[in-house]
Each structure stands twice: as C-alpha cells, then as structure tokens.
Amino acid sequence: MPALACCVDAAHAPPGYAFPAGDSSLPFPVPCSPGVPLSTTSTHTAAAASENSSAHWSPSLSAALYKIDGWGAPYFSVNSSGNVSAHPYGADTLPHQEIDLLKIVKKVSDPKWVGGLGLQLPVIVRLPDVLKNRLESLQSAFDFAIQSQVYEAHYQGVYPVKCNQDRFVVEDIVRFGSPFRFGLEAGSKPELLLAMSCLCKGNPEALLICNGFKDGEYISLALIARKLALNTVIVLEQEEEIDLVIELSKKMSIRPVVGVRAKLRTKHSGHFGSTSGEKGKFGLTTTQILRVVKKLEQAGMLDCFQLLHFHIGSQIPSTSLLADGVSEAAQIYCELVRLGARMQVIDIGGGLGIDYDGSKSGNSDLSVAYGLDEYALAVVQAVKFVCGRKNVKHPVICSESGRAIVSHHSILIFEAISSSSTSAASMTSYEMQYYLGALTEDARADYRNLTASAIRGEHEACLLYADQLKQSCIDQFKEGNIGMEQLAAVDALCELFYKTIGASDPVRTYHVNLSLFTSIPDFWGIGQLFPIVPIHRLDQRPGARGILSDLTCDSDGKIDKFIGGESSLPLHEIEGGGAGGNGGKYYLGMFLGGAYEEALGGIHNLFGGPSVVRVSQSDGPHSFLVTQAVPGPSCGDVLRVMQHEPELMYETLKHRVEEYCHHDEDSDDGDSDHGMGSIASLANSLASCFHNMPYLVAPCSVTAMNNSGFYYCNEDDYNAAADTSSCEDEK
C-alpha cells in the first residue's frame, strides 16, 4: 500500500493586539525578593543562554543523564556527533562498525529522488545483527557454565514466538540458531503452524515445544509435526490433555514425546511472577503429575514422557530465586526418572530478565541483578547438584528466553512535532499593564496585595494572592464582566510570579507523532517502562523537561513516567530552521521494546502499526545496509480490520463529489475541462487518503509529493529502493 504523505501546516502565533495610548494606574510587577528581577526572558536571550550552556555540555554527559551506558550496554552508546549509535556485535563491535541511528532515519524518511526510501515515521528499526549476537551470547554463557562445571549434557534453547511473531524475526532466529540447535516454542495453533513451517529450514535436532491450552486439533497438529520429523514435544498444561494425547496418538499411529508443566511452589513477588506458584494459571501439581504417569504407564507410553517444564515468571530478579526454582524442578525431574519415565530434558521456561533502567537491581520489575553468565551458571549448578545427589544422568537444559533475545534488536523511532509553551512571555509589560488596568476593584485589590507580598519577599502570600486573583478573574469572565484579553493578562502575570519564586510547573507537553496504544501498549496496560531518549542533539544540554502526548483522542495517550522514577524527561527545545542540522526535526527512540509490543498493539483511533526497516551492518562509508523496508498500514488497511470496505466507501464518496461539485463546471464559463479537472482532483485526493498512513507527515515532506499532492509507493517499491539505494551508499 502506498505510504501517507501529506502537508501539516505549522502552527503560527495569533496576530498581536492593538493597544490604545494611555497610562495604567497599576504599577509594573516587582521582584519577589531583593535583587531578583521579575521580567520575561526574550527568545533570543533564552537561545543565547542555551547556546552558552551547551558549550559546557558533552555527549558523555548526555549518556550519563539518560543512563544509556547502563541499559544500553553493550548495544547502544552516544557518539562524538551527539547521536545514538547501535553496536551490532555488542562488545565486539569495532568503531567503524557502529551505526548512527540518525543516519538510518535520514535514509528511511528522505524522498526517493534524493536517495531515501520515502517511508513515513514512526518506524521500527530492526537490527538482525543484534539478534544474532543475543542468541550467540546466551549460547556462549551456557556453554561456558557447562564446561566450567563439568556438566555432562548440553544446552539448547527455544524462542517463544509469542514475544514477537514477525516472520523475519522468527526466521532469523531459526537461521542464526541452527548451528546450536536452537528451536521454537508455540502456545497456540497459529503459532504452531508458523513454528512448524520455519523449523523445516532449521536444525533437525531443534526442539519444537508445544505449550498452551490444547484441544484435539492442536494435539493432532503437534502429532503431524512429529510425523514430519520435527523434534516436537507436547507439554501438558492441563491434566485432561493427556487423555487426548493418548487417544489421538493411537488413532494416528504416531508415537508422541510428552512433557508436563509443573506447578512449582517457588514464585517471585513481582508483577511478572503472578502466573507462578501453587495458584498459578498453568501447570500440574505433583498429585496431577503422578496421575499422568499412571495413565501413560497403563497405556504403555511411559517411555514417551521425556520433558519437565516449569516457569516461575518473567523478569526473575535474582539468581538466588532462580536457583531455588530450578532446584525444586530438578527434584521433580529426578523423581520422574525414579518412577520409570524416560526423562531427557529439563525446560526451565522463561524468566531471563533484562535491565530496562540500567540500575542492575534485584528489587525492581525494571531490572535484574545478574548478567547472562551468572544466569547460566546458576541454572547449571542447581541442576547438577540435585542430579548428582540423586545419581541421575544430567538432562539436556532448555530455556524459553524471549524477552532477553529480541528486546534489544528493535528500536521504535518517532518524532516530536510540537511542545506546549508557557504564557508568561506572550505579553510585554505595557500590554499587561493596559489590560490589568481594566480589572474590577476586587481583582485590583488582589493584585495590589500580590505586589506588596512580592516586595516583602513573602512567597507563600504571593501564591495565595495569585490564586485569589486568578479565581476572581475567572468568576468575572464567566459573568461577562471582563474580556479574554484581561484573563490572558492575569494568567501571564501569575505565571511570571510563579516562575520567579520557583513555583511554576517547568514540565512541558511534547506532542509526538505516535499512538501509545498501538506501539507501546505495555506502558498503558501494565505500567511497563522503557528507555526513551532523543537519538540526536546529545552534544547539547537539554533545556526543558517534558512528558510525551500521543496523537490519539484519549487522555491515557501520554507517557508521564520514565526510567529512574522520573515523572518527566529532559528534552531539547523543538526549534525551526535546522536545529541540530535536521531542519528542526526532533527524533526520539524507544529502546528494548522488541518483545511483546508489536504483538499486543491494537488500532485505537485507527492508528495502525509503524513502518518497519531491517538494517544490517556493512563495511561501506555509512556502516549499514537497509535490507528490507515495509510501510505501515494505510487508512484503508485499518478500516478493513474493523469490517469496513474501503472500496465501497470510496465509491460512495466519489458519487457524492460528482453530485455536489457539478456546479463548479457550470461556473467555469464554458471551460468544462477545468471543472472536470476539479472533480477528478477531489476524487483522486479521496482515493489517496485511503492509501496513506494515518500518521502525520512533516511539512518538508511536501517535496516528496507528486502533482496530486501525494507520494505513492508500494511494498515492492520500498524493498527495491532499499536494495538499490543501499548499494549506492556503499559505492
């Protein structure tokens, strides 16, 4: 579908008022404390101050301010240009291999005729090299732990596709993980179908773990996967599932491999541990597991019981809690061996956490107090100790790490298009005095009390009289006794006093071209925080603090909590005329969101998902190669999801155009071509709207539009442009 490209007019300040000559009997506001001037600061003065402060700022200070070296290591840093750079190979990335995210944005958003891809923001940037590095790092951590502990079996993980079911993400994981038998985990029939398809190209020893609630069709599909020589394990989540497995396997003459999910007593107290413990949503108790063993034995299928699975919750905060859960599960594993099951694998589930805020704390849902090496060592030691004590052969260790694998490889980049501004600087002293002179006597009395308190430096009294003055004027405005100009003057005056005594709210609202509900649903749904930082201008001191407000018509569509316990984010002024060398554009990135956000996002307000590009490291001058680019869903796409029919909608509107615009032809003095051209132009514009994305397009994008005012491109065009333009970059 073609991508949206439309012109959004920049907001202009309203024209100034006309002020008649005359003196005001009210004095101009005075300082709230001796020696502190109470005056507005001009834009030029503020800009000069900002420029001066930036001279003593550096990218390293920005890295510390936004904690990038904490949550971003080893994949993200701030380069000498003040832009965020990605390290595709983690700690092994050489300086010339770093990828400047601002250059990716430029490549993606520039029109085709200047060598860009013409894609619209917001955009998800996928870095498959980071994905590969995460897989290799996890495997390396377990290999080292197994070798150092002389463990007598191996590790082979699976990726739970529920974290991100995107085709290219799953295919990359299968391809990158093939050398070390990395498999997939599915929790539903559609996920099982995609896992089966992808693993046909994977390592034949890779596990296909079938979790989730199951019906006969699910189990039959899993048995078919077994028949197709895929290393499939049906993990029982409910006790009654074993009856279906026995019945269908005999009916289909397919010998299954069965596992059970144990409902452990071990759990952690954080948000992500709510599904674990005795009252958890999934799994079988020890009593139920014993009944499963008995049923399999009676059916002559006890040898099919080969895997034990458990999950004590995502974001496990510490290795001590992890070791406790693994030890409990290992005891159950050894008991199953004693009961005659032919056990082979212990599946420790998910839980490998990531550090969202860089604090390396074990007391938060946003962090973990360990790294990959400590995690792997704790698991291997716990299993080895229990099996050694029970004289049981060491099992293959499997984990279902999803969040830890895919979170880092995906970056959501979006633009702040405007920010709110205070009203204190909107009037000169003369304008303010003129309008204040027209206040009622009660309001003038409050004003005199406010001024007197300011002279004495009584800040509490200043706040009291300022609030009284505002409320009095609001009441007078509601009664029609004063005009909007007087009300605005009082607001400006009070804001001036608030600023001087440090009582004003310094936090601005930055309006971002994004849907929170579509792209960051976990923030709205469960309060999950993600690192959000500007991806450029980090060689400049941030001059403001802000919260982020999205495009949706919903009061919840805002981000007002940030990592580090902050209720606002240090941000730069959104300037025109080329601030930071980007024509005034201000780009922000949300990091570590590669897991769950895309799968959970909806279409609130009919905002579809972002555009997506895949970027690989390359040895050319720009260090990267765009290998794939896909535009986000169009207006027509999201309408179709809600059962509307864009084609019929267009025909209805086109008929309306022809019906109500025919008078234009009659008024053209015989120039019927011009009239028909007007109708055709309107119809074409309507058609274009169905093909364009719902998000806003910056005014500068008008250069990318065609004669009808819209820029057209389909997915094949984007991919061709990605390949061609990337090659040109490398040349």
Strand 410-419 with 507-512, pairing: antiparallel
Q: How many CA atoms lie within 13 A of 95 on its CB side?
A: 2
Q: Are 436 and 486 in contact (CB under 8 A)?
A: yes
| Catalytic annotation present for 553 | yes
One-letter amino acid of 438: A
What are the DSSP calls for 222-240, one per residue?
HHHHHHTT-EEEEEESSTT
Q: Are 609 and 519 in contact (CB under 8 A)?
A: yes
Shortest CA distance to 216 belongs to which of 207, 224, 208, 204? Answer: 224
- Neighbouring residues of 418: CB distance < 8 A, sequence distance ≥ 6: 11, 510, 511, 574
Collapsing DSSP to helix, strand or coil, 455 comes out as helix
Please count the residues of the chain: 731
What are the DSSP calls for 38-70, one per residue?
-----HHHHHHHHHHHHTT--HHHHHHHTTHHH
Q: Are 188 and 212 in contact (CB under 8 A)?
A: yes
459 φ, ψ (degrees, to nearest 5): -65, -40
Collapsing DSSP to helix, strand or coil, 306 comes out as strand
Catalytic position from the list 32, 198, 553, 700: 553
Cis, peptide link before residue 15, omega less than 30° from 0: no
Distance CA(638)–CA(204), nearest Å, equals 39
Distance CA(246)–CA(530), nearest Å, equals 45
Query: Which pair of structure tokens corresponds to residue 405?
Result: 């694998």
Catalytic residues: 553
